[in-house]
Chains A and B, each alone.
Chain A
Amino acid sequence: MGKTLPQDKILQDRYVLVENINMTFSTKKGTFEALRNINLDIKEGEFVTIIGHSGCGKSTVLNLIAGLLEPTSGHLFCNGREIAGPGPDRGVVFQNHSLLPWLTCFENVHLAVERVFKHESQVQQDLRTMDALDLVGLSHATDKRPSEISGGMKQRVGIARALAMEPKVLLLDEPFGALDALTRANLQDELMRIMAKSGATAVMVTHDVDEAVLLSDRIVMMTNGPAATIGEILPVDLVRPRNRLELAEDKNYNHLRAEVLKFLYERHAKKAA
Chain B
Amino acid sequence: MSVVSIKKENIEAVMKDEKVIVSIMPAANSEITTKKVVRTVAAKKPSKFAMQTRSFFEWALPPAIGILLLLATWSLISYQTPELPGPIKTWHSAVEVFRNPFYINGPNDMGIGWNILNSLKRVALGFGLAAIVGIPLGFIIGRFQFISRMVAPIISLLRPVSPLAWLPIGLLVFKAANPAAIWVIFISAIWPMIINTAVGVSKVPQDYMNVAKVLNLSEWKIVTRILFPYVLPYMMTGVRLSIGVAWLVIVAAEMLTGGVGIGFWVWDEWNNLNVEHIIIAIFIVGIVGLLLEQTLIQIAKRFSYE
Contact = CB atoms under 8 A, between A and B. Distances in A.
| A, B bound | yes
Interface string A60-82: 00000011100000000000000
Q: By DSSP majority rule, is chain B's interface helix, strand, loop, or mixed?
A: helix
B215 A111 contact: yes
A226 interface: no
Contacts of A100: 208, 211, 225-226, 229
Interface in A128-150: 145, 147
Given A94-B207, A98-B207, A103 B225 contact: yes
A101 B214 contact: no
B215 A96 contact: no
Interface string B213-244: 11111100100011001100000000000000
- Among B210, B218, B229, B306, residue most surrounded by chain A Cβ atoms (within 10 Å): B210
Nearest to A63: B210
Contacts of B214: 66, 68, 86, 90-92
B196 to A, nearest CB: 19
Contacts of A165: 215
Contacts, number: 49
Interface residues of A, number: 25
B289 to A, nearest CB: 31
A270 interface: no
B217 A96 contact: no
Contact of A115 (B210, B216, B226, B305): B216
B217 A86 contact: no
Contact of A88 (B211, B216, B229): B216
Contacts of A147: 306
A115 B215 contact: yes
B225 A94 contact: no
Contacts of B230: 102
Contacts of A235: none
Contacts of B215: 111-112, 115, 161, 165
A95 to B, nearest CB: 9
- Among A88, A94, A102, residue most surrounded by chain B Cβ atoms (within 10 Å): A102
Given A98-B208, A100-B208, A100-B226, A115 B213 contact: no
Interface string B182-217: 000000000000000000000000011011011111
Contact of A86 (B216, B218, B229): B216
A111 B210 contact: no
Contacts of A145: 305
A94 B210 CA distance: 9
A177 interface: no
B305 A102 contact: yes
A229 B211 CA distance: 27
Given A103-B225, A111-B225, A98 B217 contact: no
A112 B211 CA distance: 9
A85 interface: yes
6 A-B pairs with the lowest CB-CB distances in the bound complex, closest first: A102-B305, A102-B229, A98-B207, A92-B214, A86-B214, A86-B213
Interface of B: 207-208, 210-211, 213-218, 221, 225-226, 229-230, 305-306
20 contacts: A66-B214, A68-B210, A68-B213, A68-B214, A86-B216, A90-B214, A92-B214, A94-B207, A96-B207, A98-B211, A100-B226, A101-B305, A102-B229, A102-B305, A111-B221, A111-B225, A115-B216, A116-B216, A147-B306, A161-B215
